[in-house]
Amino acid sequence: MPSIVKQRFALSLVSLFALASQAPAQAATEDAKPAAAPATTMTANVTLASQYISRGFRQTWGKPALQGGFDIGHPSGFSAGVWMSTVSNRFIEDGTLEVDLYGGYTGTAGPIGYSALLYYYKYPGAEYHATGVSYDYGELSLGMTYKFFYAKYNSTYTKDFFGITNARGTGYLDVGANVDLGSGYTLNLHAGDGRVDGAGNDVWNWRDLKVGVSKAFDGGWAVSGAYTKAYGATNAYDAYTLGIPDSSGKVAVSNPAVGTFVVALTKTF
């Protein structure tokens, strides 16, 4: 899942040219000069992960993932970005890439942070052939933060959700905390609850948990490690398969919700 856009502010320094006799006039000139406006920010990131886990599920079928994104933020609070990751065609039929497009507004009211963002998840060429349904879908995300706590709720606004048809209104609640441990370390805690809307689609409901630690270094580098696991409401995920043979000719079967430890190295520019 995508990064919150970081905003930076640039300050201009004005040189003082004054002789003792000219000081009052020079000071008046500087007082009249407006301060520089905060600048629009642009950041990029690239990640190498031992695998791609999204909402508790192993999107790369246990294989490593290459990920990256680009974000632009305006001082007003509006932002937009794109994030991409490799995925497995064993989990997403005919899919090898996920592209997340997002944009919206982030602001604060005293100690409370809030956000409203639109997401669209694109899986080029991917389709669940059994039903002819695309994996592409869109979500509205509303979020709040207080100190190191956060809560977000994503609701699907498209007809389909990740290969499941007639699932508009599918919701995902994400709550957790990112606790500063000092010296660049952060404790990352997350709990999620997913409810798939539509008649008969509740067999795909799930919950997931994550506990991890990240460490930031100078130069925009960061490493992270986390244990994550999903819990299906039914046994629908226990022997998940698209009926696609693996390299040995056997049909590839796995449990994408199984408990997994994942590590990642990230560089932000």
The model's confidence at residue 158, banded by pLDDT at 50, 70 and 90, is very high
Burial tier of 97 (Cβ tally within 10 Å: 0-12, 13-18, 19+) = middle
Domain assignment present for 7: no
What is the pTM (predicted TM-score) of this model? Answer: 0.84
Domain assignment present for 79: yes
Domain assignment present for 123: yes
The model's confidence at residue 34, banded by pLDDT at 50, 70 and 90, is low
Expressed as residue numbers, the domain containing 132 is 40-268
Domain assignment present for 104: yes
Residues 6+ apart with CB under 8 A from 208: 55, 56, 57, 190, 191, 192, 194, 228, 229, 230, 231, 257
Residue 234 CB: number of other CB atoms within 10 A? 11
| CATH of residue 50 | 2.40.160.40
Residue 10 CB: number of other CB atoms within 10 A? 11
Residue 81, token pair as written in the block = 């970005």
Least confident of 45-59, 78-92, 139-153, 239-253: 239-253
CA angle 212–56–152, rounded 5-degree value: 80
Most distant CA atoms of the chain, gap in Å: 90
Work out whether strand 171-182 and strand 149-156 pair parallel, antiparallel, or are unpaired.
antiparallel
The model's confidence at residue 245, banded by pLDDT at 50, 70 and 90, is confident
pLDDT at 20 over 50: no
pLDDT at 16 over 70: no
Average pLDDT across the chain, whole number: 88
In the chain, % of residues over pLDDT 70: 86
Q: For residue 134, what pLDDT is reported?
A: 96
Domain assignment present for 218: yes
Tally the domains of the chain.
1
CA dist., res. 239 & res. 232, Å (int): 12
CA angle 94–97–98, rounded 5-degree value: 115
Q: For residue 9, what pLDDT is reported?
A: 31
Taking Cα atoms as reference points, which of 173, 172, 113 lies closest to residue 147? Answer: 113
Backbone angles phi, psi at 200, to 5 degrees: 80, -5
Domain assignment present for 98: yes
CA dist., res. 41 & res. 238, Å (int): 44
